[in-house]
Structure 1
Amino acid sequence: MSAASRGLISRFRFLSLDSTRAFQSFSRAGFSSSTEAALSEEDHDHGGGWIIEAKPKIMTPSSRRTGAIGIKCGMTALWDKWGKRVPISLLWLDDNIVSQVKTMEKEGITSLQIGAGQKKEKHLTKPEIGHFRAQGVPLKRKLREFPVTEDALLPVGTPISVRHFVAGQYVDVTGITRGKGFQGGMKRWGFSGMPASHGASLSHRSIGSTGQRDAPGKVFKGKKMPGRMGGKQRTVKNVWIYKIDPARNLMWVRGQVPGAEGNFVFIKDAVYNKPDHSILPFPTFFTPPDEDPSMLEPMVADLGDVDPFMAE
């Protein structure tokens, strides 16, 4: 069989699989073949999928919005009305835009890829440059994919500002923790160490025995021992947003977030302490044409009768 024949056969096989996927996606959505034929041409774009519009919608309890990419700028502190010092982390959303849209018809999932920051072409690989050119978006420094529901899809190029979130809501922040290198058991696991006197020569910070005798004759997996500490992905849940600054795309959150200053963190709506969906902009905040974000004042959360810095 010639190479051309093999190419034609693989092409026909791909087309048949593609039509099968499309039929399965319509079946999952509750459409029959007759319903599919009754759909008007204006309900689809030229690629065969649903038209994704950048307009406000009504958020339902089952809706899932996209997240955003932030940069940890540092930490500061505030004092509550009782004089208690409360740590505050400062996050910066650096030019977030939608860089790719994945739909059920094409990729089998519904998600949005968000790009943040800027990067020169000479610092990117050729596949990365081709990806950005194919999507028609500027070169971005960091990419992150967020799963969303179908009603929360946004077209490519839609900006995601800090007003995507609301002051007073809870978010989950994911990042890479500070790397501390190879550390001993006392620092890594909080062991108390060996006695500091009476014959404990040169073993004050030792972890002690790690195994048994002939039975089982080995060290069990997962034993707390010296090793590499930090540098892992961790998520801090239910982080409370104290203030947002639309003019500078800054966000103040209570407590600490993973990572060192200058590291990227990924912010999304809290999973457990869910915010009120009636106050969230859905699928994101769209800046009015007559509004200048640089002239807006910072928006502080409503503290209410109970000081949120004291409430656990």
Structure 2
Amino acid sequence: MPKVHKFLVGEKVGMTQVFGPDGSLYGVTVVKVGPCRVAYTRTKEKDGYQAVCLGFGHKKDKSANAAEKGLAKKIGIQPIRHLREFRVNDLSGAEQGQVAGVERFAEGEYVDLQAISKGKGFAGGMKRYNFRGGPASHGASDRERAPGSLGSRRSLGRVLPGQRMAGHMGMDTVTVQKVKIIKIIPQEQLLLVNGGVPGAKGITLCVTSTVKKVPKPPVVVAGKKGKKDAAKPAAKKPAAK
């Protein structure tokens, strides 16, 4: 797979702490991102769009259906557990069965990570949307955590769609953007990224090169001094009397 295709599929291992090259201590999330296989490609002529599908992980034959077994037989591997498609502008160089690993990224690079967040179950309005609740005094004995009025009036006589209220919380597709890669361990196919990542341990992640603007490294020109480094003018001596 060409190196311009900077995307991988992996799973969240957990969190730990590491020291960066500058000596700073970082809280990092450990992500295992390989090896991934190119399961198949999508073309404009046949499918209407261009994409590369990567597979990550394996499962037993008895747990796979006929389609998964047929795809694995074409590639010559065990049935694939996770499949994810990534849209691309150019398919040249991408072929079925190719292997992609952590070497696609470098330390200090910024990536976007997408996963399904942790499920919180059925939650009230205060936990789900940060409602402040009702008064705790003046005769309000059971209104402390109530959502309040739903905004229904005589002219409508109904609750409008999208009204914020209690309901199922979590289990959403969440993307964190512009996350810095602190360290790469190529022997174990591990990425150590700065901060937290959505989802519980073992959740499937999609790692792509960030779409955000990244800070440019400072350019130091030899022979030029900044304002702080510029020589200060010598202090004037008092005139002789």
Aligned mates of 1:82, 1:98 — CA distance in 2: 37
Secondary structure, counterpart of 2:11 in structure 1: strand
Compute the RMSD of aligned alpha carbons. 3.0
In structure 1, the partner of 2:99 is 159
Scaled by the length of structure 2, the TM-score of the pair is 0.81
What is the identity, as a one-letter code, of the residue corresponding to 2:64?
Answer: L
Instruction: Specify which of 248, 251, 266 is matched with residue 191 of structure 2.
Output: 251
1:124 partnered with 2:90: no
1:99 partnered with 2:34: no
In structure 2, the partner of 1:143 is 83
What is the identity, as a one-letter code, of the residue corresponding to 2:132?
Answer: S
> Identity of paired residues, percent?
37
**Residues 114 and 81 (structure 1 numbering): CA distance in 2 closer, same or farther, change over 3 Å?**
closer
Secondary structure, counterpart of 1:200 in structure 2: coil
In the TM superposition, residue 84 of structure 1 has moved relative to its aligned partner by: 8.3
Alpha-carbon contact 1:188-1:226 (below 8 Å) kept: yes
Aligned mates of 1:152, 1:257 — CA distance in 2: 32
In structure 2, the partner of 1:224 is 164
In structure 1, the partner of 2:28 is 88
In structure 2, the partner of 1:39 is none
In structure 2, the partner of 1:67 is 7
Aligned mates of 1:151, 1:94 — CA distance in 2: 21
In structure 1, the partner of 2:152 is 212
- In the alignment of these two chains, the number of paired residues is 220
Scaled by the length of structure 1, the TM-score of the pair is 0.63
Which digits, 9 at most, give the CA deviation of each residue in 1:123-179, with x for residues without a partner? 111222122223444321101111122255422221111111111111111110101
Secondary structure, counterpart of 2:193 in structure 1: strand
Instruction: Specify which of 229, 233, 236 is matched with residue 173 of structure 2.
Output: 233
Secondary structure, counterpart of 1:186 in structure 2: helix
Which digits, 9 at most, give the CA deviation of each residue in 1:28-47, with x for residues without a partner? xxxxxxxxxxxxxxxxxxxx
**Residues 275 and 159 (structure 1 numbering): CA distance in 2 closer, same or farther, change over 3 Å?**
farther
Aligned mates of 1:205, 1:275 — CA distance in 2: 44
- Worse-matched range after superposition: 152-161 or 250-259: 152-161
1:194 partnered with 2:134: yes
In the TM superposition, residue 275 of structure 1 has moved relative to its aligned partner by: 9.4
Aligned mates of 2:205, 2:167 — CA distance in 1: 25
In structure 1, the partner of 2:235 is none
In structure 1, the partner of 2:234 is none
- Name whichever structure is richer in strand by fraction: 2
1:134 partnered with 2:93: no
**Structure 1 residue runs of 4 or more that deviate by more than 4 Å after TM superposition:** 78-86, 302-305
What is the identity, as a one-letter code, of the residue corresponding to 1:236?
Answer: V
Aligned mates of 1:82, 1:163 — CA distance in 2: 22
Aligned mates of 2:17, 2:42 — CA distance in 1: 40
